[in-house]
Amino acid sequence: MKHKILLSALLLGLGSMMLTACDQGQKPATTSQAELKKFAHATILEGVVSNDKGAVNAGIVEVMDESGHMLAQTKVDNSHYRIEVPANTLLPILLTYSSGPGAEKLMAVAIYDTVTNYFINPSTTAIAKAAKAMGGYTRANMIRAAEETVHTPDANKTTTGWRGDPTTQYGGWH
């Protein structure tokens, strides 16, 4: 009887070691992959376009995906634009402004599916270019690019970060 109990314990222990050894070669499933954001429904984006001289009166705003495929376009009317982005559009998307062929393009980047108002101006263009150079249009890159690109007066800074509305503080990119 003693031998049966000892043998059972030995087999149970050996079986446990074998299962543990088999498990060590397996990699755990990664669940930390970033969830893709998208505009689930057709969404209206709107805003104001300005350049170094002030508000622009005419031109075209285009919505493009990161590959450069145009998704929609509209005319600027008295510095304002309003454009519908198709349903199921994956983010990020680029909002680009041009006054005509060969003219310099201004841009802003939409990375949030809940924000619908975007300025397009030289500051948002500088932020977008800096974020792209940092590796892409992620939230972290956009914030870092905004902090390093846009001048913020000391009166608008606190020891814990930004004071006021971060939408305007970051050049209107979100």
pLDDT higher than 90, residue 25: no
Which of the pair, 93 or 3, is modelled with greater confidence? 93
Domain spans in the chain, listed from the N-terminal domain onward: 38-169
pLDDT tens digits along 122-159: 999 999 999 999 999 999 999 999 999 866 666 655 54
Distance separating alpha carbons of residues 161 and 38, to the nearest angstrom: 29
pLDDT higher than 90, residue 61: yes
Q: Count CB-CB contacts under 10 A for residue 61.
A: 26
Q: Which residues of 66-102 are buried (b: 16+ CB within 10 A; e: fewer)?
A: eeeeeebeeebeebebebebeeebebbbbbbbbbeee
CB 164 within 8 A of CB 156: yes
Distance separating alpha carbons of residues 39 and 138, to the nearest angstrom: 16
Which of the pair, 27 or 99, is modelled with greater confidence? 99
What is the CATH T-level fold of the domain 38-169, as seen in this structure? Immunoglobulin-like (2.60.40)
The pLDDT of 71-100, averaged and rounded, is: 96
pLDDT higher than 50, residue 75: yes
Give the model's pLDDT for residue 149: 82
Give the model's pLDDT for residue 35: 61
pLDDT higher than 90, residue 116: yes
Which range, 1-10, 17-26, 92-101, is most confident? Answer: 92-101
H helix or E strand, kind and range, residue 101: none
Give the model's pLDDT for residue 1: 47
pLDDT higher than 50, residue 113: yes
Which of the pair, 93 or 2, is modelled with greater confidence? 93
Give the model's pLDDT for residue 81: 98
For the full predicted model, state whether its pTM sits above 0.95: no
For residue 32, name the pLDDT band (cuts at 50, 70, 90).
very low
H helix or E strand, kind and range, residue 163: none
